[in-house]
Amino acid sequence: MANLRTQVGIIGAGPAGLALAHLLHLQGIESVVLERHTREYVETRVRAGVLEQGTVDILCGSGVGERLKREGLQHEGVELRFDGKGHRIDFQELVGKSITVYAQQEVVKDLIAARLGYGVPIYFEAEAIRIEDYQDNPKIYYLRDSQNHEIACDFIAGCDGFHGICRPAVPEGQLQIHERHYPFAWLGILAHVPPASHELIYTYHERGFSLLSMRSPEVSRLYLQCVPDEDIEKWPDDRIWEELRTRMATREGFVLKDGPIFQKGITPMRSFVATPMQFGKLFLLGDAAHIVPPTGAKGLNLAVADVRVLTRGLVEFYKHRNRELLSQFTERCLRRVWKCQRFSWWMTSMLHRFPQEDSFSHNIHHAELDYVTSSRAASTSLAENYVGLPFDTPGLF
């Protein structure tokens, strides 16, 4: 049993854990990062792709935005498409902001490179198996190279995602869970073909939702609504392209060229919030505390927003021994979490086809799409949420 001591023990090297470790380092606060997978695994795991302007500002302001600025694709609007017609929501004109398309695994690579670059390790293939005494003297027990190790720390940051160990370490009865399941999932692909549009297209169609996104001028990212227990084997490439073409067709003859698909996966849809997000000296951040359905691309951005709140709290504590901001962590995070939950739930409900929709629901659904694309007030609300709501408090970066 090898023992370590640190100020903040961080479990998980996803966007939340890595961003937290990076921001704390810049403030002179020491941390240890444990990650159960290999570096290669976390650097190639395909997930989100849209960064809010506030997330871009934090990454660039903290010195990890060089490649993001060079390779990220800045978008000033999105298209909503239904009844064979597209409607552009112009973010710049409506709210004066934009979003950046830059894959989550690229953010992860940049944060890993930054940490290793200033000579601080990340423990890969180190699985936290238990946390103890998080009210007083927090300890993390982990397994690495088949050996047991222990870290004593001032605080534990549970950045270990939805299936991690930190949230389940809290006794039942102390956590309140709020959740919603959806009767569909997304089938997502990456393909070597130039994107058929220079901006994202969210489509509502009788056969279900579809989304055109991208990763670079040569790589398209596309999604299709499917059933929750979809068998990916039933979706050969030709069937995927055919279905995408049907759903994205316009009266003006939109052309979606196909190309070699090099990655396929099913993303489940869920809304989930666990409250509170703190227990003594344990804090839950990102997917460990909340999950949004992917429509609207809020998951990664929300994880970074939690990190921003905890960093400020820890800086106040270590620089001025003031616990006030730390004590407000849950309350400050949840204000944004619930607004993002509302937005993601609303976008999901508006853009997906629900099984057994009766004629009343169908017409209301249609009216919602018509309203949001024809009213400046409604379009502005969508744009304001999509680019990211302003932060309540000033940040450090």
Local structure of 170: helix, strand or coil = coil
The region of 40-48, 202-210, 321-329, 354-362 touching ligand FAD under the rule CB under 6 A is: 40-48
Q: Which of residues 216-275 bind ligand FAD (CB under 6 A)?
A: 267
261 binds, among ligand FAD, ligand DHB, none (CB under 5 to 8 A by kind): none
Using rule CB under 6 A, residue 297 touches ligand DHB = yes
Query: Are residues 62 and 347 in contact, defined by beta-carbon separation less than 8 angstroms?
Result: no
213 binds, among ligand FAD, ligand DHB, none (CB under 5 to 8 A by kind): ligand DHB
Least Å distance, CB 255 to ligand FAD, is 25
The region of 55-63, 144-152, 298-306, 385-393 touching ligand FAD under the rule CB under 6 A is: 298-306
Token couple for 339: 């607004």
Q: Is 298 a catalytic residue?
A: yes
Give the C-alpha separation, 9 to 3, whole Å.
13
Q: Is 87 a catalytic residue?
A: no
Using rule CB under 6 A, residue 50 touches ligand DHB = yes
- Residue in 10, 29, 33, 48 binding ligand DHB, rule: CB under 6 A: 48
Q: Is 260 a catalytic residue?
A: no
Least Å distance, CB 205 to ligand DHB, is 16
Which residues, at least 6 apart from 251, have a Cβ–Cβ distance to it below 8 Å?
84, 85
Query: Are residues 123 and 150 in contact, defined by beta-carbon separation less than 8 angstroms?
Result: no
Which residues, at least 6 apart from 283, have a Cβ–Cβ distance to it below 8 Å?
155, 156, 157, 158, 277, 310, 329
* Bridge partners (DSSP) listed for residue 265: 188
Q: Which of residues 61-120 bind ligand FAD (CB under 6 A)?
A: 104
Q: How far is CA 348 from CA 94, 182, 292, 293, 296, in A?
A: 22, 9, 10, 7, 8
Instruction: Say if strands 290-291 and 261-275 run parallel, antiparallel, or are unpaired.
Output: antiparallel
Instruction: Say if strands 282-284 and 147-158 run parallel, antiparallel, or are unpaired.
Output: parallel
Least Å distance, CB 364 to ligand DHB, is 23
Using rule CB under 6 A, residue 161 touches ligand FAD = yes
* Residues of this chain that bind ligand FAD (CB under 6 A): 11-17, 34-37, 42, 47-48, 104, 127-128, 159-161, 164-165, 267, 286-287, 294, 297-300, 303
* Residues of this chain that bind ligand DHB (CB under 6 A): 48-50, 200, 211, 213, 221, 294-297
